[in-house]
Structure 1
Amino acid sequence: MPESPTSCSRPSSCSSWWWARDHRPPWAVGLILASAGVGGLAASFAGPWMDRHGSPRTVFLGCLWSWTLCLLLIALSPNTVVLALAWAGVGATGAISSIILTMARVRAVPDAALGKVIGAAAVVAEGAVPLGAVVAGYFLAAAGPGLSAWVIFAVMAALTLTCARFLRPLDAARPPQPAKPALP
């Protein structure tokens, strides 16, 4: 039986506790956790095409709805295959939204400020990862996996609805400009 998240003696047992809660074999836990990376890698090939053929707002909102649907599947199903497919969808959605948001920044921000803007966005995004892990770990330990999955889904659904209502099209979009040579 897996250890509880509050008494984990090994980091590897703590990270897979949620999936092992249903007494899944190690290969099933690995399949579920690896599927997000596989989904992200596969979607990285589709992201540039989506950037060229869709508006940033439309693609980003599609990503939010897709992510919300995947979280609903995670909350609803204990099935290993469904969980793996849902996590592959989360990984794919994350890759596509990263591509779309980065390209929107490249088009909207003047070249002189682009490095600072992308750097600031990276600090915020990467800084949120450890904070989210700590908060989610304590919440998971306190509320359990079932309630945690439903709360995460509810928060994502609320964020998706808010973005769908208030996110405006990017008016200042411009195509990327080639870098100017340093010497004439």
Structure 2
Amino acid sequence: MKRQTRLWIAAALMLAAAGAASAGTVNVTYKDPDKFIDVPFWDQDRTEVLKEFSEHFARLGKQLPANQQLNITVTEIDLAGRVEPRRNSMRDLRVLRGGADWPTMQLNYSLEQDGKVIASGNSSLNNMMYLQGINPYREGDLLRYEKPMVDKWFKETFTAPAQLSKK
């Protein structure tokens, strides 16, 4: 490999590392997740869904400045569609009809900067049109219909300049 190519690769890696180091942090907790309206019944499946939500919130938190920390407490989750039990399988089947089965989530949040709360609130997220429009998440994504709802909330709450200047 040529020396110049190696230098470019090293520079790119350093920029990527610097960008990751300057990102904000997110802490997600779930209040009574075994009582959520619509999270899988089986512990392993429930753990997988909550882990996926936590990882998604963490990815979004990378958009925050390094000196900010977002604390989220999820109090309710209702996934898209409805669960229908299957007789011959341990896994239930989630059926999406596009009616009154849209995804919803209730959460409380606080955004801290240098140890001081600069924004906080309670939010009720929903995506009534979850089967309409373009979905940027792949077909097999566990939370394909819930992630756009979370993305929209995050963008409207934390990246819109008018919102941040009010708080």
Report the TM-score when normalising by structure 1: 0.23
Pick 1 or 2: higher relative contact order, CA cutoff 8 A, min separation 6.
1
Report the TM-score when normalising by structure 2: 0.25
Higher helix share: 1
